[in-house]
Structure 1
C-alpha cells in the first residue's frame, strides 16, 4: 500500500467539499456539534497558497486536511512558530488508517525543514473521543480556550470552547 501526502490542486476542490459533506454527516451521527460549512474562497486560497493537502492511498484520495501558519484568534499570545492543522477529513472507506499519525509524520518533516517549533491543532472541548484520540497520536493537551472573537473563522467557531493540542518538534 502506497500512502502519499501531497498538495491539493484546483481540480480537487469538488472532492474536498464532498469530503466536508461526508464529515458533517458523520459529525451529526456521533456528536452534538458539527461544522457549518466553509467558503469556497477559503479553500481556493488554501490551494493557491499550498496549504490544502490530500492523502492518497494507492492513488485514491483518502483524506484531506488544511494547514495555516498563524492562528491568533485561537492561540492568542502563543500564536507563533507553528504549523496548525485543520479540517482533517477521512473518507469513510479509509477510516481506521490512522491518518492523523500520517499527518503528524508529514508535519514533523515539514516543521524540521522549515525551522518550525510546534505542530498544533484544536477541537471542540467536549469531544472526549477526539481528545483521547489526539493524545494517543502523540499530541499533548495544553488547555482550553473559549472563543470570544471569531470573525474570519468558519461559523462553527462562534462562542465555543476548544481544546488545544501541540507537539514540540
Structure 2
C-alpha cells in the first residue's frame, strides 16, 4: 500500500465537496451535531493558498483535510506559531486507516521545516468519541472555548463549545 499526502488541486474541488457530504451524512448518524456545509469560495481559496490536502492510497483519494496558520476566534491569545488542522474527512471505504496519525506525521514534518511550535485542532466539546480518539493520537487536551464571535467561520460554529487540542513541538 502506498500512502501519499499532497496538495489538492482545483480539479479536486468536486471530490472535496463529495467528501464533505459523506461526512455530514455520517455525523447525522452518529452524533447530535453536524457540519452545515462550506462555501465553495473558502475551499477554492484554500486550494489556491496550498492549504487543502488529500491523502491518496495507491493513487485513490482516501482522505481530505485543510490547514490554516491562524485561528484567533478560537485560540485567542494562544493564536501563534501553529498549524491548525481542520475538516478531516475519510472516505467510508478507508475508515480504520488511522489517517489522523498520518496527518500528524505530515504536520510534524511541515512544522519542523517552517519553524512552527504547535499542531492544533478542535472538535465539539461534547463529542466524547472524538475527544478520546484525538488524545489517543497524541494530542493534549487543553480546554474548552465557547464561541461568541463567529463572523467568518462556518455556520455550525455559532454558539457552540469546542474542545481544544494541541501537540507542542
Give the Cα–Cα distance (whole angstroms) in 2 for the partners of residues 145 and 168 of structure 1: 19
Question: Residue 119 of structure 2 corresponds to which residue in structure 1?
Answer: 119
Give the Cα–Cα distance (whole angstroms) in 1 for the partners of residues 50 and 116 of structure 2: 17
Deviations 1:55-107 (A, max 9, x none): 00000000000000000000001000000000000000000000000000000
Please report how far the alpha carbon of residue 152 of structure 1 lies from its aligned counterpart in structure 2 after TM superposition. 0.1
Give the Cα–Cα distance (whole angstroms) in 1 for the partners of residues 158 and 148 of structure 2: 8
Question: Residue 46 of structure 1 corresponds to which residue in structure 2?
Answer: 46
Q: Which ranges in structure 2 are unaligned for 5 or more consecutive residues?
A: none
Question: Residue 110 of structure 1 corresponds to which residue in structure 2?
Answer: 110
Please report how far the alpha carbon of residue 141 of structure 1 lies from its aligned counterpart in structure 2 after TM superposition. 0.2
Report how many aligned residue pairs link the two structures: 169
CA RMSD of aligned residues (A): 0.2
Question: Residue 164 of structure 1 corresponds to which residue in structure 2?
Answer: 164
Question: Residue 133 of structure 2 corresponds to which residue in structure 1?
Answer: 133
Give the Cα–Cα distance (whole angstroms) in 1 for the partners of residues 70 and 82 of structure 2: 7
Q: Which ranges in structure 1 are unaligned for 5 or more consecutive residues?
A: none
Please report how far the alpha carbon of residue 52 of structure 1 lies from its aligned counterpart in structure 2 after TM superposition. 0.1
Question: Residue 27 of structure 1 corresponds to which residue in structure 2?
Answer: 27
Give the Cα–Cα distance (whole angstroms) in 2 for the partners of residues 94 and 152 of structure 1: 31
Question: Residue 145 of structure 1 corresponds to which residue in structure 2?
Answer: 145
Please report how far the alpha carbon of residue 44 of structure 1 lies from its aligned counterpart in structure 2 after TM superposition. 0.0
TM-score relative to the length of structure 1: 1.00
Deviations 1:110-157 (A, max 9, x none): 000000000000000000000000000000000000000000000000
Give the Cα–Cα distance (whole angstroms) in 2 for the partners of residues 77 and 117 of structure 1: 15
Q: Which runs of 4+ in 1 moved over 6 A?
A: none
